[in-house]
Amino acid sequence: MDENLEMIVMNLVIDSGSCRSYAMEAIAFAKEGQFDEAEEALVNADSEIQKAHHVQTSLIQNEAKGEHTEISLLMVHAQDHLMTAMVVKDLAREFVSLYKKLK
């Protein structure tokens, strides 16, 4: 894997991980009744996942143009992080909503 692609993939892992962290933070805030903070964490999670999704979309578009991307364990790991982060973010939004209803 060339250095440029490696950096792109590492950023995908980092942005996805940040999204997941913000989403989990949102759940913790909501659990404590801190809904403004929970909403802010969800906004941050959305921002991070958008960055990660943009990277993934660029990789897919390049592949569609015939520019083959080397599939490595690091690439698979990055995609796993992205998909997990997306699910956690969606569930966090539901948890925040549920905690609001309970309060």
Q: Is 81 a catalytic residue?
A: no
Among residues 53, 54, 68, 77, which one is catalytic? Answer: 77
Amino acid (1-letter code) at residue 60: I
User: Would you give the end-to-end CA distance of the chain in angstroms?
Assistant: 50
Q: Which of 89, 90, 103, 101 is nearest to 32 (CA)?
A: 103
Dihedral angle at the C-alpha atoms of 86, 90, 93, 94, nearest 10 degrees? -150
CB 28 within 8 A of CB 58: no
User: What residues are labeled active site?
Assistant: 77
